[in-house]
Structures are given as structure tokens and as C-alpha cells.
Structure 1
Amino acid sequence: MAAVTYLLLLWSVTGFSVAQGYTGNGGNFAVDLGNILPTLTRPANASRIFYGIMFDAGSTGTRIHVYTFIQKDSDGLPVLDNEMFQSVKPGLSAYADMPEIAGYTIRQLLRVAKKTIPRLEWKRTPVVLKATAGLRLLPPAKAHAILEEVQDVFDESPFFIPDDSVTIMNGTSEGILAWVTVNFLTGHLYPNTKKTVGILDLGGGSTQISFLPKSKKTISVSPPDYIAKFDMFNTTYELYTHSYLGNGIKAARLSALGALGAKGLESKVFKSSCLPKKFRDDWTFGGLTYKISGIPYGYTGYKLCYQEMQKVVKGIIHQPYELRDTGLFYAFSYYFDRAVDAGLIDGTQGGTVLVRDFRKRAKEVCNKMSRHSTMSPFLCMDLTYITCLLKDGFGFKENAALQLTKKVNSVETSWALGATLSHFQNIRIH
């Protein structure tokens, strides 16, 4: 676990602000670390413990991560000792017209931090919230109102409030921080090695892909904003990374239904051959409610559903020049959740799934829709979308292997750890 903190406190991103304000030399880690850790009143030879609080305000839920770090000696590396994690649903974007409830949600989750962190450490422990696709999809004024409510709750709290403690994170930062976190936790980023794993993150509102290309042509033929440079261990890496707003699994449902951005929702019913024929319901996402249904007298099945999903993917998702020879990809969030729902992996252990496994299971579910209509009416649609996204979108081969996981070394596989440690680079806590 020492390696987890080591890399994330060294890396800096060029071209956009992820580690902005970090002035360390990157070569003398102990000296830099001595300047950024909290000042604690303890004997010189005692271990120093410090904490960080990160809120992940996603489109479908709000999660709090409370990290405990140990600095055993001034010349050594800090260790990530523990992560306390809790989440609630729905996401803050569901309160677009009731921002005060968003503030109440954050206030309740802060209780987790108060129970985890000793009272004497509260005033030197930073608390940060970063919102992702859910708030990106809202009208700016409504998103701002929610962020203001969160800021008020933070200001009332006993914790340390850094500058820009409540923000909407851009998709590039989200993809890179997740990539760095997962590669650290899996032990793939050490000095003098370039062996890494790619990451695929499928949220409710957006989806991200990040990997280290093996072919220079991948870099040269990709759109400039799909390539991010960052320095690590005196080496410059060029990462292929992109976030697709509107292609998260729930936003994709709306796109397939023709409902994303539609007006007059009260009088419209949005239909899909991906849904059971007799299914009809009100479905809420991003603070809006949609009337959706199957096609009572139409046809259903995988082939028709796949055609619907191609409209959501083709011409939108960029296919990297190369995905082979990039090593294993770790896939999480809704990739993991829907694979569990489909019986492809164990919900506790996770596991390796081939792209063709998603396709085969999608066919089985869609062609026997009635069996799954009660418990999971969206299972056909979601599995078909995942299959289409991986194959027609990113261009994965059917035998490409994905490691589906929720945690690595007991730490959530998300951008939150990287974002937390990035703040320890940017600020001085005294």
C-alpha cells in the first residue's frame, strides 16, 4: 500500500489543472512530503496519522470516502491504512429543484467522517466534493445552486475547507485519476516499468476509457484532446483518455428511447424494443421523470435492441487505433453491477469477463425477456448497450478480457483516492 501513496504524490498532469500549485521537485519525496503533511504534536519518533475526506457526487449516488494515512517516519513513505466508504442514492442532481435536500444529504454523510476521524484531527483534515456527469448534465444555474448548498454545509463543518473544495470535475481529470489509482492499487506503476492496465468506467451519466498506448500511431491519429501527458518518475507518459458525457448507462437508456433532452415529458411515452412488451413505468433520472414502456404489439429481442443501441454509440464513440497489446482492462461501476445482475460474476469476488460473454448473456436475456421483466426490466437494454459500447464503440475484439472489480486491496476502484492525494499536493496544512 505504500506504493499507492508514492506515485500519486509524485505525478503531475500537463495541459490541464489536476496537480496545479504543486511545486515539489519530484525527486526528493521525503522533503516534499514533509512540507505537505499535517503538523502533529507527537514525539519525533512517533508515527503520524492524517486523514482526507472526498465526496464523489455521481449521477446515481453520492459517496463519501474517508482515508486514513500513516507517516511512520520523516524519511519514509506514507501508507494508506484504511478507507471508510458509504454511499446514498439518488445523486445530488435529483435535487435540481430542491438544492436544500442536497445539502442535507452531505450533512448526513459527514457523520461518517466524524465517527471515523478523531475530534482533535478535524480542523486539519481537508474535506472536498467533486461532482461528475450528473451535475454536468444539469442547467448551469441549477448545478450552481446545489454546489452552493454543499459549500454552506462544508463551511459549517469542523473540517478544513481548501480552496475550490466544491467543484464539478471535468471528464479528463476523472479518467486520469481513475487510471492512476487502479494502476497503483494493482502494483503496475513502479519506477522503470511501463506495464500498466487500462480502465473502463461506466457511470450513470458518462463513461470513461483510459489506457497507455503501445503504438505511437494511436497518439498521432487521435484527436488532440484524447491524449494527456503527465510526468512520472522523470518520464513523460502519454495517456489515451476520454470521457463521453451522455453515454453513461442511464443517459444511454434515454438516448435510445429518444427521451434525452425531449420536451413535454408529461404527455409523452417513450417506447423501446429493448424493454418487455408489457412493461410500463415512470422512470426518474437527473431530476426528471419519464414515462417509458415496451412495445405491446411489436417485436422484441437482441437484434432489434442492438440496432437501437448502435444509434447511441456509432459516430459518437471514437475507436482508438489500437486496443490490442495494451494489456488487461479493469472495468468498474455499471460494468461490474450489470455483470453481477446477469450472473456473469460473483458480486463479492468479481472476476474476468470476455466481451463475448456480455454479448452471449445479452442475447439470452433479450430473447427471453419475460423471465427478467419483473426483477430487472432494463437488463436486456443495459447488457446490449455494454456489448455495443465495447464492440462498435471502442472496438474491442470479442476475446478481449475485462477484469471486473469493485475494490482492489479493499479500496474502491474510482478516481477518489487519486483526487484526495492530489489535494495533499496542492495545499499546505499547518
Structure 2
Amino acid sequence: MRLSSSLQDLPTFSRIDALERGSSTGSDLVSGRAKPIRTLQRDGAVASFSKEKTPPSSPTNRKKCMRAAGCAIALFLLVFFIYASLRYFHVFLSEGSPEYYVILDCGSTGTRVYVYEWSVNHDDGNTFPIALKPLGNAPKKKSGKLTGRAYQRMETEPGLNKLVHNETGLKMTIEPLLRMAEKLIPRRAHKHTPAFLYATAGVRKLPSADSEWLLDKAWDILKNSSFLCSRDRVKIISGMDEAYYGWIALNHHLNMLGTSSSKMTYGSLDLGGSSLQVTFETDNSIQDETSMSLRIGSISHQLSAYSLSGYGLNDAFDKSVAHLVKKLGGAAGNGKVQVKHPCLQTGYKEDYICSYCHPLKLDGSPSVGGKTTGKEKQGMAVELIGMPQWNECSALAKLTVNLSEWSNASSVDCNTKPCALPSTFPQPHGQFYAMSGFYVVFKFFNLTADATLIDVLNRGQEFCEKTWKVAKSSVPPQPFIEQYCFRAPYITSLLREGLQIKDNQVIIDSGSITWTLGVALLEAGQVLSTRIDIQGYRILHREINPNILIVLFLISIVLVICAILCVSNSIPRSFRKSYLPLFRQNSAGSPVLSMGSPFRFHLWSHITSGDARTKTPLSPTVAGSEPHPFSMSHGLGGSSVQLMESSRQSLGVYHSYSVGSLGQMQFSSGMWKPELLYDTM
């Protein structure tokens, strides 16, 4: 009688209890009786040749879904906590190093460079999140001579509008400014520092072909510098943008931004060489061409902003000359127009190019703005002769302010209405800071910010009464000395008649504010908003205690372990390593403890049916052949190797293990291939 167990049926058997096996081998085999051995079905396995199959006891779909949901939640929380921790530490580390901006202001009289350093504001008493400060002053001249410039800044002349198709002059204007900026910024930060070139009214008045040429050549210079620059950062800004930047710069300087105070912000009056920018906060919710909205934190500001082209200091004087050309000029022997100007000192006689004098309108009045098509002459050469008359000078300045004199608008009485404004522009109201050109005039006459407009008029009249030689030597060298006799009554008329602003509504700026500061603030705000979440300008790391983040970090570690366990338990069984159960080799006398070796087999028993007949699992051996130990035979569908183990017991019971077409068996320690063993009977 031969007991055979097929390898195909190995998964259907279970390990035999050690004690039961010991007793059976110790008594039954000695007595010569083969005691039937109980077999147990393995969980989830099905006998290939058994008549009855037990239903598999695999985990239910509900358990699988719960396990999958738990893994998903653990992974989500893990990713969230890691993201929050990395973001916090990134913001924490980035706040320690300052960043920089380089901004080139290309005005009508010259080009200036401004360098700003900014970082996150750590002052708990200030809800505005950005700390920004300007860097550097204009280098002092080695000669030690005083300069009469109001602003100590790095500046090159002339303005870009005078350098059309002059590439060499353009390089000589921009490159020294970039070298100055490089000295103010650490070398390691150069390649990360954005550079901007913003042109204002002087370039705005040029024909589009000329302005595009200037911008393209300026971009060629900037992209070869050590700073970070892109083409969209080299552009002409509108007058409205310039006014908007100036308002932001002013109110940031006064700590009025980001506060919940009900106090109104200050309006800004930014007087340049070619235009005047007016910006103020209004309660009017009506949207028009001048309306702008600004939201800083939880505070919203409704603004009115506009730019008055032709109302800058230089353009205003040019308009006064154009008015005299029309009314007073006469041809000299050399063909030049001689203009006797009431706002120039005695003894002054110089050539002058009047931009507003040509071309003339059809009605004979000068064109406002001075912008031509490019084919027309850019100005008219005249000869200015000083003939000071203070009253006539004041009247000429007032006429220059009146818009109706320089447009087709109906006549406006400057004593009743703001005559510098179009009818669609809102009249300024509130408190104002007068910046740039206003400060320059005050500085020229050595007036402080608490001086009044009457003081300006008095100093201007005194200056006009001097001869040109005395007047020129009475002040440090600086450009446009001859024009300050006109500028004193002009800024007074501009505020009082042109804008209808009372003297007590205006505060003269100290000279520390420029619109470029507003550009730097807006750019820094955009960068900051991409790094941290701001709600009312509350910074992330100030709302979350670092100890809480440490706890969250520890939780994330636990979640890592849970996620790994969930994922490992969810791996399908088909991807796991297969193994064969170990068997206990019986010998006569006493049971032998089975060791956990991958090269030993469990002892499998025959199956006893209910009628006391013994069934053995079918083995893929050839029918009718004599079973020999380790004989080669052909089984079902292919060759097989039959491993026969013979016992030395008197019954001569053979235990056979058949390897079908499997080829090899896989163990946890590696791959095992069948080997031929020799019988020891």
C-alpha cells in the first residue's frame, strides 16, 4: 500500500499538532497499524481533488474598504503635516535674509536709480508685514564742493527722451547707475535681485517708434547686467500708475497702511518735470475714469488718481515761453525769435529750445503735451532775454495753470473753479503732502516744511530782483537756476487756483518719498503673498506656536508608520512570496521536532472516508507503472518528477511528493528547485 500526496494538494493540508503526531508515530506505527491522520483545510485554500470545498474565509469587502479609507486618510494627513511643516520652516528661514530691488526712474530731466532692501516685518506693534528701506546716497564729490540739488541721489542727465537713436549716450546713462546699485547690494544677491526700468512723462510724449527703440535698447543693457530682469519690467508707466505708486509710498512712509484706524489717509501731489500726479482717498463709490481700489489686509481704500500732463515744472516754464512767442516774440537779425521773459533776471540772455512752440495749432495756440508724429520738428529755437516784472510774472504763471488756455475747453475762472482740471475730474479734498517738485522749490529757497506759500512768494520775488550774475552765484551750482523766479509763483498758483487747495491743506514733504518706493512695496507684497497666507496681514508662523508644530511633526511620524503598515497589509497575496509548509519527519520510537528549515516538508497523511476506506490524493503518475523512488514519469499535461520517500517500517508505506509542471518552488529565503534525492531504505 502506498500513501501519496500530490504537490498540487499541499495547500489543502495543515500542520499536524506536535503532540498528536508524537503519539501516533510512537504507538501506531510500532503496532503495525496506520492510524488515519486528521486533516485540516487551510484558510482560503481549496483542495484540487477533494469532493467538498469549504467556502473561503477571506476578509469582507467592508473591511477592505475601511482599510483602504484608513490608509488614504493617513496618507492625506501625513502629506498635509509635512507640507505645513516645510512651509513654516521655509518661511522662517527666508525671513532671516533680506531681499533687494533696483528701480530706475527715467524722468524728463534725468534718470535716477533707487535700491531698496525689504524683509518681513517682525514688529508686533505694526500690522503691515513688510519692512522696506532705501539704500545708499549719491557719492560725495572729491572736490568737496556743495551741490544745490534737493535730492542726494545717483542721477544721470539728460532724460531718456533726449537720447533717441543715441545708443552710446543711452549706455552712458544707464550703466553707471547699475554699477552704483551693484556696490550697494551683496554680490551673492545680485542674480536674485529684480531690476526695473520705468519711464514716465518724458518718454510718454515721444512718438511710439522712438519710445519703443529706447525701451528695446535699455532692455539690451539690463539683460546683460548682473541683476535679474525681464522684458516686461522695462516699460513706460501711465500717469495714473505713477500717481498710484506715489500715494502708496506716501502713506506707507506715514504708517497709514494696514491700520484699522478710521482716520483718513493723506492725498499725494507728486510734481515732476513734465506732469503732476494727484491721488487722494474718497468716500464716493461712483466709478469713473479716475477711480482705483486698493485693499491692504482687511482695509479697503477707494482712490481717485489722475495725471495732469504738461503741469510739471519744466513743461510749465516751456508753456510760458510758448505763450510769449505767440504774443511778444519778434524775429532777430539772425532769424531767432527773441523773447523777453518777465520771470528772468536782468542780464540773462540764453538760447532756448521751446518744445511747446512748434508745431502750432491751426488757431495759433501752442499744442498741449508737445507730442509729435516724429516727422515734425521737436521744438523751436528762441533767444530768451531777462526783463523781470514780478506782477507780470505772477500773471503769466497763473495763465500757464489755466487749462482753457492750452486746450479747446471753454474759458474757466480760476478764482471759482479748479482751472487745471478737466470737467470730468473730481476736485481734490482732504489733507495733502506735496512731494518732489514742490520740495525742490522749497529746498532751493532754503524753506522748511512748515513754511507757507506766502513765504515762497516772498523768496521768489527777492530772487527775481537780483541780477543774473548775482542770482547765479548766490546758490550752489545746479540745473535750471534761471527758472526758479517763475517756479515760485507757479507752484502757488497751481495749488491755489489750479487745484483749489487751501494753504492749510498742504504739507510740504521732507524729500524722502518718491513713487519708486510704491513700486518696491507692491512687488514685495506680491512675493510675500505667494510664500505665506495672510489674513488681515497675520503671518502664519505668528499664529501657530512652534511647539504645536513639533507635536504635529511627531504625529506625522506616527502616521508614516501607520501608512506603511496599511499599505503592506493591503498588498495582494499574489505579490507576496509563496512558501511550502514544513513537515515533521517521523522515525520509529519518538517524534522529532521539526525545525524551521525551508528544505523540509510536512508529513501529509492519507484521507479516510466515512466508510473506513482509505483515499489517497491523486498523484500525476502514469497509470499501471511501478512506482520507484525518484523515478521520472509523465503526469497531467507534462513531465513531472516524483519524489518518493520510503519508510523502513514493516508496512512499507511510501510517502510520495509529486512535483508537476511547476518547475520550482519559492521560499521566503529565496528560490528552491527540486533536487533528486536517493532512497535510504
TM-score by length of 1: 0.75
**Pair 1:272–1:232, CA change in 2 (3 A):** same
**Equivalent residues of 1:269, 1:291 under 8 A apart:** yes
Q: 1:51 & 1:399 partners in 2: Cα distance?
A: 38
**Equivalent residues of 2:403, 2:421 under 8 A apart:** yes
Alignment partner for residue 80 of structure 1, among 132, 135, 138? 132
Q: 2:133 & 2:394 partners in 1: Cα distance?
A: 45
The equivalent residue for 1:393 is: 498
SS in 2 for 1:352: coil
The equivalent residue for 1:125 is: 193
Q: Does 1:252 align with 2:316?
A: yes
The equivalent residue for 1:374 is: 472
Per-residue Cα deviation, 1:134-168 (whole angstroms, up to 9, x for no partner): 11122222222221111001111122113511101
The equivalent residue for 2:446 is: 343
Q: Does 1:177 align with 2:265?
A: no
Q: Does 1:360 align with 2:458?
A: yes
- Write the mapping of 1:262-277 to structure 2, written as runs, cut at 5 A: 267-277=336-346
Aligned-partner residue type, residue 116 of structure 2:
Y
Alignment partner for residue 433 of structure 2, among 312, 324, 330? 330
- Write the mapping of 1:134-173 to structure 2, written as runs, cut at 5 A: 134-173=202-241
Aligned-partner residue type, residue 169 of structure 2:
I
SS in 2 for 1:242: strand
Alignment partner for residue 421 of structure 1, among 490, 513, 521? 521
Alignment partner for residue 279 of structure 2, among 198, 210, 217? 210
Aligned-partner residue type, residue 423 of structure 1:
E
**Pair 1:360–1:400, CA change in 2 (3 A):** farther
**Equivalent residues of 2:354, 2:382 under 8 A apart:** no
**Equivalent residues of 1:175, 1:243 under 8 A apart:** yes
**Pair 1:323–1:153, CA change in 2 (3 A):** closer
**Equivalent residues of 2:118, 2:524 under 8 A apart:** no
**Pair 1:174–1:304, CA change in 2 (3 A):** same
**Equivalent residues of 1:318, 1:394 under 8 A apart:** yes
**Equivalent residues of 2:390, 2:464 under 8 A apart:** yes
User: Any unmatched runs of 5+ in structure 1?
Assistant: 1-30, 346-350, 408-412
Q: 1:131 & 1:321 partners in 2: Cα distance?
A: 26
Per-residue Cα deviation, 1:347-369 (whole angstroms, up to 9, x for no partner): xxxx2232333333334444556
Q: 1:176 & 1:366 partners in 2: Cα distance?
A: 36
Q: Does 1:240 align with 2:309?
A: no
**Pair 1:323–1:259, CA change in 2 (3 A):** closer
The equivalent residue for 1:313 is: 401
The equivalent residue for 1:228 is: 292
Alignment partner for residue 301 of structure 1, among 376, 383, 389? 389
SS in 1 for 2:293: strand
Measure how far apart 1:91 and its partner are: 1.7
Measure how far apart 1:404 and its partner are: 2.9
Measure how far apart 1:173 and its partner are: 0.7
Q: 1:343 & 1:241 partners in 2: Cα distance?
A: 31
**Pair 1:301–1:285, CA change in 2 (3 A):** closer
Aligned-partner residue type, residue 208 of structure 2:
P
How many positions carry a matched residue from both structures?
A: 372
**Equivalent residues of 2:157, 2:173 under 8 A apart:** no
Q: 2:324 & 2:110 partners in 1: Cα distance?
A: 20
SS in 2 for 1:199: strand
SS in 1 for 2:501: coil
Q: 1:255 & 1:65 partners in 2: Cα distance?
A: 31
Q: 2:217 & 2:172 partners in 1: Cα distance?
A: 9
Alignment partner for residue 171 of structure 2, among 81, 85, 103? 103
After the TM superposition, which of the residue ranges 223-232 and 251-260 deviates more from structure 2? Answer: 223-232
Measure how far apart 1:344 and its partner are: 2.0
**Equivalent residues of 1:67, 1:84 under 8 A apart:** no
**Pair 1:403–1:417, CA change in 2 (3 A):** same
**Pair 1:128–1:273, CA change in 2 (3 A):** same
Per-residue Cα deviation, 1:229-260 (whole angstroms, up to 9, x for no partner): 22233343222222111111001111110079
- Write the mapping of 1:4-43 to structure 2, written as runs, cut at 5 A: none
Q: 2:521 & 2:426 partners in 1: Cα distance?
A: 32
Q: 2:444 & 2:95 partners in 1: Cα distance?
A: 47
Q: 2:167 & 2:335 partners in 1: Cα distance?
A: 23
Measure how far apart 1:384 and its partner are: 1.5
**Equivalent residues of 2:324, 2:341 under 8 A apart:** no
**Equivalent residues of 1:64, 1:87 under 8 A apart:** yes
**Pair 1:45–1:118, CA change in 2 (3 A):** closer
Q: 2:201 & 2:282 partners in 1: Cα distance?
A: 26
After the TM superposition, which of the residue ranges 300-309 and 178-187 deviates more from structure 2? Answer: 300-309
Per-residue Cα deviation, 1:271-308 (whole angstroms, up to 9, x for no partner): 42111243111346888684342365xxx322211222
**Equivalent residues of 2:102, 2:115 under 8 A apart:** yes
Measure how far apart 1:54 and its partner are: 0.7
Per-residue Cα deviation, 1:1-42 (whole angstroms, up to 9, x for no partner): xxxxxxxxxxxxxxxxxxxxxxxxxxxxxx9xx99xxx99x9
Q: Percent of aligned positions with the same letter in both sequences?
A: 26
Per-residue Cα deviation, 1:27-74 (whole angstroms, up to 9, x for no partner): xxxx9xx99xxx99x99487122111111111112111111223478x
Measure how far apart 1:187 and its partner are: 1.3
Aligned-partner residue type, residue 281 of structure 1:
E
Q: 1:261 & 1:238 partners in 2: Cα distance?
A: 43
**Equivalent residues of 1:50, 1:69 under 8 A apart:** yes
Alignment partner for residue 92 of structure 1, among 157, 160, 173? 160
Q: 1:386 & 1:186 partners in 2: Cα distance?
A: 24
Q: 1:257 & 1:53 partners in 2: Cα distance?
A: 37
Aligned-partner residue type, residue 341 of structure 2:
S
SS in 2 for 1:353: coil
TM-score by length of 2: 0.49
After the TM superposition, which of the residue ranges 86-95 and 42-51 deviates more from structure 2? Answer: 42-51
Measure how far apart 1:400 and its partner are: 3.9
**Equivalent residues of 1:95, 1:102 under 8 A apart:** yes
Aligned-partner residue type, residue 79 of structure 1:
A
Measure how far apart 1:175 and its partner are: 0.7
Per-residue Cα deviation, 1:192-236 (whole angstroms, up to 9, x for no partner): 12432221111111111222236x4xx76xx93233222233343
Q: 1:259 & 1:139 partners in 2: Cα distance?
A: 24
SS in 2 for 1:184: helix
**Equivalent residues of 1:353, 1:404 under 8 A apart:** no
**Pair 1:250–1:151, CA change in 2 (3 A):** same
Q: 1:373 & 1:61 partners in 2: Cα distance?
A: 24
After the TM superposition, which of the residue ranges 120-129 and 397-406 deviates more from structure 2? Answer: 397-406
After the TM superposition, which of the residue ranges 376-385 and 352-361 deviates more from structure 2? Answer: 352-361
**Pair 1:81–1:293, CA change in 2 (3 A):** closer
Alignment partner for residue 382 of structure 2, among 291, 298, 303? 291
Measure how far apart 1:185 and its partner are: 0.9
Aligned-partner residue type, residue 208 of structure 1:
Q
Q: 1:72 & 1:344 partners in 2: Cα distance?
A: 35
**Equivalent residues of 1:53, 1:64 under 8 A apart:** yes
Q: 1:138 & 1:163 partners in 2: Cα distance?
A: 20
